[in-house]
Amino acid sequence: MSASSQKERIAVYPGSFDPPTMGHLNIIDRGAEVFDRVVVGVAINTSKNGVFTREERVDLLEELVADRPNVEVDSFHGLLVDYMDEKGYTTVLRGIRTVSDFESELQMAQANRLLKEHIDTVFMMTDANYSHLSSSIIREIISLGGDTKGMVSPQVEAALKAKLAPKG
């Protein structure tokens, strides 16, 4: 076996995860089949006021992937490519649901390559069951008193209801 084939293949799956959904978990699981290790990276965006804090998102994700031995959860401030350089990671994993996802993902992947030429992005297409799922849709359903069973974990649903569900 050559030296390069022994190197651990690691993908960083970055996102807001506000909250993490079953669509995210699907990409994590499929990524964990293709890569030796998947690092889920919670992006802390100071200009975006989220529903969950960094710690809450990390906790919810850790609960979600607790029985996946080759998946771990981390968080980072600032540019993804700087975080990746610091840790020695070179592959980004992202999911695509729609044509509009494709456009923004293309721009982001190209911008990352301009910033750091050695960083590459791998895309996975959403499973049809999850193509309609987004964190913002989930937040909206819960804030209007709806049911998100099967779209997020029971823990995520409970945590979201505690924050967003209409009272009374």
C-alpha 35 chain-centroid distance: 15
CA distance 87 to 111: 20
- The DSSP annotation for 85-132 comes to HHHT--EEEEEE-SHHHHHHHHHHHHHHHHH-TT-EEEEEEPPGGGTT
Q: How far is the CB of 87 from ligand ADP (least distance, A)?
A: 18
What residues numbered 78-97 form the site for ligand ADP, per CB under 6 A?
Answer: 94-97
- Residue 27 makes contact with ligand ADP by CB under 6 A: yes
What residues numbered 131-160 form the site for ligand ADP, per CB under 6 A?
Answer: 133-135
Helix (H) or strand (E) holding 67: none
Letters for 34-53 (x = contact with ligand ADP by CB under 6 A, - = none) are: ---------x----------
Respond yes or no: is residue 2 known to be catalytic. Answer: no
Catalog residues that contact ligand ADP under the rule CB under 6 A: 15-17, 21, 23-24, 27, 43, 94-97, 101, 126, 130, 133-135
Instruction: List active site positions.
Output: 24, 48, 97, 135
